[in-house]
Amino acid sequence: MANFYDFAEFQLDVLKEVGNIGAGNAATALSRLLDKPIDMQVPKVNLLPFEDIVNSLGGAEQVVLAVFLRVVGEVPGNMFFFFTEDSAKRLLHNFAGIDVEQPGSYSEMELSALNEIGNILAGSYLSSLSDFTKLNMIPTVPALTIDMVGAIISYGLLQYGEMGDHALFIDTQFLEGSDQVKGHFFFIPDPEAFDKLFHSLGVPLE
């Protein structure tokens, strides 16, 4: 397995292109869902070790909402979509017209709405990656959880055994007028899936 820090600029450019296409599709999907124009900022895309991702989300003890789903097919792995409680409230209020009455407490309807939004966004990214690589990637039914970042990632590791120690990290913001919602995606291919993914992108790890 190659050292990810040795990636050439053109290899990272390919990853960024995948991220851009995915974010564009996710913004379009969100627009359709909410019947409002949604713009997005150009996402930051990189391959990062877990420790750096955890830190970029505010540290292991930062409480977040996460949509988690398992990816099956030719590139099996795990996908997470994180948003902060502040972003969750903005999503519900500005995008879906729902006000959260008690911070940190969500009704079944609110959780269902967040799960559906996260599912649509994650699915859009995944279908873009699948189209771009011509590899079969199928999302399973998503689960929504509210917990500390470290606990959520640990759960993913426990559920599905050993995962690769790096993830494709996509950090983006969706905009409706002056309102911003930060979304953090990351896709963690299983260790044996990394080579297949990068070969399909024309940037083999060898």
Average pLDDT for 32-53: 78
CATH code of domain 4-200: 3.40.1550.10
pTM, two decimal places: 0.75
When comparing pLDDT for 9 and 116, which is higher?
A: 116
Report the chain's mean pLDDT, rounded to a whole number: 78
pLDDT, tens digit, 9 for 90 and up, residues 75-111: 888 888 888 888 888 878 776 777 777 766 788 888 8
Residues 6+ apart with CB under 8 A from 7: 47
Average pLDDT for 25-29: 84
Average pLDDT for 7-35: 76
Q: What HEC string does the chain produce? A: CCCHHHCCHHHHHHHHHHHHHHHHHHHHHHHHHHCCCCEECCCEEEEEEHHHHHHHCCCCCCEEEEEEEEEEECCCEEEEEEECHHHHHHHHHHHCCCCCCECCECCHHHHHHHHHHHHHHHHHHHHHHHHHHCCCEEECCCEEEEEEHHHHHHHHHHHHCCCCCEEEEEEEEEEECCEEEEEEEEEEECCCHHHHHHHHCCCCCC
pLDDT, tens digit, 9 for 90 and up, residues 130-184: 888 888 988 888 888 888 988 887 776 665 555 556 677 777 777 776 677 777 8
pLDDT, tens digit, 9 for 90 and up, residues 117-130: 888 887 887 888 88
Residues 6+ apart with CB under 8 A from 165: 49, 50
- CB count within 10 Å of CB 202 equals 10
pLDDT at 156: 65
pLDDT at 1: 42
* Domain regions of the chain by residue span: 4-200
